[in-house]
Structure formats: structure tokens, C-alpha cells
Structure 1
Amino acid sequence: MTATPTQAAYTARQGWATGLTAFAAVMLLLVGLLDIFRGIMAIAEDDVFLTTSNYVFEFDLTGWGWVHLVLGVVAVIVSMGLFKTATWARVTGVAIAGLVIIANFLSLPYYPVWSVVMITISGFIIWALCVVDRGNLFRPPEERSTRGM
């Protein structure tokens, strides 16, 4: 039995949605784990990080460690929800990735290369979670409205 063009497109879109959600879940899990390790490093030993004088957003490194540790723990929890394709996890994942971007921007002078890497990965997470229209995606093609398509 051959699939109709509509069924084939539907199957292809389901594959993309599943793949992008899995990508975002894995990347958010990695970002969370790396943020946890970064937080522990900053809390345990302040001299691991480079310090810059006269930085506008100058904070105590132990404080930054706690910020990164908390964001990392929440990111790991949200990534588990993404593996189950929960809607709450998708929305929260975008918010957490945004907060990770902000935290890494503010801590840029302390660990510049790593902050840029984390900002980039978090940007990909937001893209992966936002790019697929899941509202129409999992309904069969005959049940989807033609509006907005």
C-alpha cells in the first residue's frame, strides 16, 4: 500500500518534530549538566575563573556559581520533560535557555569562550523548541484546518 502525498508529508513533519524535540532535550540536558559543573567550580574555587576589573556587571563569583547551579538543575529537570514531549517542558525550556543566555552574557568576562559556547548552544535549543508548529503537527492531515497553512 502506497502512502498518499499528504500522508507522506505528515509522516515527514512528524519525523522533524520528533527529531527537533529530541535534539532540544539532549542539548538542554548537556547545557544543564555543564552549568551544574560550572556552578560547582565557581562555588568551590573562585580562582578558577578569570576576573576583569571595571566590569559593569561585576558580581561575586560564588553568587554566579549559585546562579549557574540553579539554572543547571532546572534545565536538567526540564530536559526530562522534553523527552516525554510535555508542553510545559517546551515552554519552560525556551524560558530556561533564555535565562542561560542572559546569565552567560553577564558572566562573559569571567569565562569568555565558554560563555559564548553556552550562548550559542542555548540559541539552538530555543530554535529547536520554537520552529515546529506542534499545534497542527500531530493531528492527521484531514483534521487540520487550512487556515494559516
Structure 2
Amino acid sequence: MAQSAPPPGTTRPPERNNAWAAGGTMFAGVLLLVDGVLDIFKGIAGIASDEVYARISDYTFRFDVTTWGWIHLILGVILVLVGLGILRGAAWARGFGVAIAALNLIANFVWLPYQPVWAIVSIAIDTFVIWALCTDRSKPVL
């Protein structure tokens, strides 16, 4: 099938929407919601009781478990809000989604010794979210 000519003033043909990436963006919004809710639960558990998570003695990034609880609670609320923004198609949400998913990925990497399985699941979710939001070019990022 012949491709149509590019619009006047442009040098490349119009990009076709990648269905996988567009579907991935919607799924990324849902995953940000889920990851946010998980972070809220992690935060509440850390704030409510210092005995919920493993005690780490000689760890470079060791914080009090209550501090980690507040970090995860705040990140969780932001993740939920950004996830809702992505699902509503807000222009700001994609770029901010990449940034907050990257920040959450780093926080979960540092959190790894406290809850390894939970942290790895969150890291995997954040990695997919970053990929999905960066590959869908159907709308401008900012």
C-alpha cells in the first residue's frame, strides 16, 4: 500500500500509532494506580509498626522503618494521582509518570533489603511503566 505524502513543511511521513505502546500506556496508568496502592500499604505498615519489616543493621541506606513508611506513603499517593492522570489522558501525566516511576524505582531499589520480593515486584512494575510511557508517541509528552 502506498504511503501518503507528508504534510507540507515536514520532511518525514506521519508516524503511525503503535497499538502495543498505546495499550501499554493505558496499562501503565493502571499499574501506577496498583503500585501506588501497594506503596500506600507499605507506608501504612511501616508507620503503624516498626516490627513489620526486617531490621537491617549494617546497611548504607538504613533509615528508621517509620521514615521508610512515610516515604512510601507519600510516593504511593503521588503514584495514584499520576496514574489517574494518565487514565484521564492529562497532558502532564505522561512526563511526570516517567519521573515518578523512576523515583519510585530508585526508592524500591534502596528498600530491597527490607522486603526483597515486594521491592522487586515494584521495580518490575516501574520499569514497564517507564518503557510504556516513553514508547507511546501518539500524544506529546509535555
Fold match (TM-score > 0.5): yes
Percent identical pairs in the alignment equals 51
Q: Are 2:103 and 1:99 aligned? A: yes
Distance in 1 between residues matched to 2:134 and 2:112, nearest whole Å: 26
Give 1:13 shift: 2.3
Give 1:98 shift: 0.6
After superposition, the C-alpha distances for 1:77-103 in whole angstroms (9 at most, x for unaligned) are 011110122221001111110111111
Distance in 2 between residues matched to 1:17 and 1:108, nearest whole Å: 29
Distance in 2 between residues matched to 1:133 and 1:38, nearest whole Å: 33
Q: Are 2:70 and 1:66 aligned? A: yes
CA contact (8 A) 2:17 2:138 kept: no
Q: 1:5 to 1:80 in 2, by over 3 A?
A: farther
Distance in 2 between residues matched to 1:89 and 1:32, nearest whole Å: 14
CA contact (8 A) 1:36 1:72 kept: yes
- Could you state the TM-score of these two structures normalised by the residue count of structure 1? 0.80
What does 1:12-91 correspond to in 2, within 5 Å?
13=17, 15-91=19-95
Q: Which runs of 4+ in 1 moved over 2 A?
A: 4-7, 12-18
Unaligned stretches of 5+ residues in structure 2: 5-13
How many equivalent residue pairs? 131
Q: 1:61 to 1:116 in 2, by over 3 A?
A: same
- Residue 116 of structure 1 corresponds to 120
Give 1:106 shift: 1.1
Give 1:16 shift: 3.5
After superposition, the C-alpha distances for 1:27-59 in whole angstroms (9 at most, x for unaligned) are 000000000000000000111101121101111
RMSD of aligned alpha carbons: 2.1
**Which of the pair is proportionally richer in helix?**
1
Secondary structure of 1:114's partner? helix
Distance in 1 between residues matched to 2:139 and 2:26, nearest whole Å: 17
